[in-house]
Amino acid sequence: MNEKILIVDDEKEIADLIEVYLKNDGYTVLKCDNGTDALRCIQSERLDLVILDVMLPDMNGFRICQKIREQYFYPVIMLTARVEDGDKIMGLTIGADDYITKPFNPLEVTARVKTQLRRYSCYNRAANAEEKDVPVTEYDVRGLVINKSTHKCTLYGEEISLTPIEFSILWYLCERRGRVISSEELFEQVWGEKFLNNNNTVMAHIGRLREKLKEPAKKPKFIKTVWGVGYTIE
């Protein structure tokens, strides 16, 4: 693993913490604590990913992200203490690939780095070799990895024990990521039987899945409920 990652953050403790975890995973790490130095580094180094703080002393991270997207396609992960939806939408609109809010778990950051690098690598291989018809056997959703070939599921590198039904539900949702799937569709596709309106089987299994994924009840990160419609993984 020789990927080179640039961390742009004026909070030294945070930059140093991320650096330790990334280096432990074998990445080469560069650090800048201001936008001017970051832009110089972006021009002079061959980078594979940038972790970019929004609030910097001389310019904001949105401007740097725009500069990156003028020339490069590698992943950009925005890092910020601000939680406003407008900031998140702005970052994603101008070309950021992911958005992490402080405080954070360093293991989640490294998991998202791996996700973005894997996705970027896979897209490049598909484009170069025209392998778009190759069936997908693995999905990585912000550190939640599910593999159909090995029938294994991991969360931030830690394996999760799923029953065959739980695995099938999670795979079906990941396979249709971004779509809202009704309880009726989930039940009929996973169980292969006709759904009845008073059937709470899907809800119960979703509840157990969320427990295994350590999902907070009010704000789940992975399996989200769209009330009156169904479930989705974004």
pLDDT at residue 20 in the model = 96
Residues 187 and 1: their CA atoms lie apart, in Å, by: 41
* pLDDT value at residue 119: 74
CA distances in angstroms from 219 to 55, 177, 214, 231, listed in the order given = 26, 18, 11, 13
Q: Are 209 and 170 in contact (CB under 8 A)?
A: yes
In sequence order, what E strands does 152-212 have? 152-155, 158-160
Our measurement of the distance from residue 212's CA atom to the centroid of its chain's CA atoms, rounded to an integer in Å, reads: 18
What's the confidence (pLDDT) of residue 199?
A: 62
Does the N-terminal peptide bond of residue 216 adopt cis geometry, omega within 30 degrees of 0? Answer: no
Q: Which residues pair with 29 in a beta bridge?
A: 5
Distance CA 137, CA 176 (A): 13
Determine the pLDDT at residue 202.
Answer: 87
Provide the whole-model pTM. Answer: 0.56
Q: Residue 70's pLDDT is what?
A: 83
pLDDT 10s digit of each residue in the chain, 234 long? 579 999 999 999 999 999 999 999 999 999 999 999 999 999 999 999 999 999 999 998 999 998 898 888 888 998 887 666 666 676 667 778 888 888 888 998 998 898 888 877 765 554 454 444 557 788 888 888 999 888 999 988 889 988 888 999 999 999 888 888 998 898 888 888 777 765 678 888 999 899 999 888 778 888 998 888 889 987
What confidence score (pLDDT) does residue 177 get?
Answer: 86
